Amino acid sequence: MALLDIEDIHTFYGGIEALKGISVTVEEGEVVTLIGANGAGKSTTLRSISGLTPPRTGSINFDGHEISDTPPQDIVKLGISQAPEGRRIFPRMTVRENLELGAFLRSDDSIESDIRRVFDLFPRLEERERQKAGTMSGGEQQMLAIGRALMSNPKLLLLDEPSMGLAPVLVERIYETVAEINRQGTTILLVEQNANYALEVSSRGYVLETGTVTMTAPSSSLRENPDVQRAYLGA
């Protein structure tokens, strides 16, 4: 059984159908990416998984649990965490306070060691530990958004546009860390417009267009596909 199995979900914003029968699977230990243009339904897929915009029909099965009607906080408890598009850090709180909030639903005694893990992944955050998050650079805030998501100790990490608005050197740093997070055992579902980086770090990919999956293949095959190259890889 896949860690995440999405079957034929239809998600709406009011009367507008944003997802028109999306089906996606993610095996434990994988990095899987969703690529596509703005409005393709990538972020809505993540919002459907995390319970923020539940699907109207279809099923989402995670680690043996049907979660399509599960409240977001309970989905976090089950082991899914998201670093949202636009970072959404708490700007008036310090870096440490943001990380501690990421562990809000936990009651174990490993929170401090997980903060240390985040600092090992992102040494810049340790340097800024007592700094207000809103005063940091965009790249530092993205590091914090990912670190905060890791603080719930997820089995599945959802990353929504982690390269958005960042300089190329920072994008490379973020993706090096994404690969390291996966090597440490966290399964990742990644949404990206920067398909070059996404396909380099992932094992499989899905191409979304206007709320439907139009193609799925190993990332290496998608990188070599002429249609994908023209549409998403700048070829």
Q: What is the pLDDT of residue 86?
A: 79
Size (the chain), residues: 235
Q: What is the pLDDT of residue 163?
A: 86
Per-residue burial over 132-147, b if 16 or more Cβ lie within 10 Å, else e, is: ebeebeebbbbbbbbb
**195 closest CA partner among 37, 26, 44:** 37
Cα–Cα distance list, 84 to 158, 164, 228 (Å)? 8, 11, 25
The whole-chain average pLDDT of the chain stands at: 93
pTM above 0.85, yes or no: yes
More confident residue, 187 or 228: 187
Q: What is the pLDDT of residue 15?
A: 94
Kindly state the percentage of the chain with pLDDT values over 90.
80
**79 closest CA partner among 149, 142, 11:** 149
pLDDT in tens, 84-128: 887 889 999 999 999 999 999 888 888 999 999 999 999 999 999
**Residues 29-33, mean pLDDT to the nearest whole number:** 97
**Structural domains in the chain, sorted by start:** 1-79+156-162+186-235 (3.40.50.300)
* Confidence band, pLDDT 50/70/90 cuts, at residue 159: very high
pLDDT in tens, 167-200: 888 888 889 999 999 999 999 999 988 888 899 9
Do the beta carbons of residue 109 and residue 97 sit within 8 Å? Answer: no
Q: What is the pLDDT of residue 26?
A: 98
* Confidence band, pLDDT 50/70/90 cuts, at residue 235: low
More confident residue, 172 or 56: 56
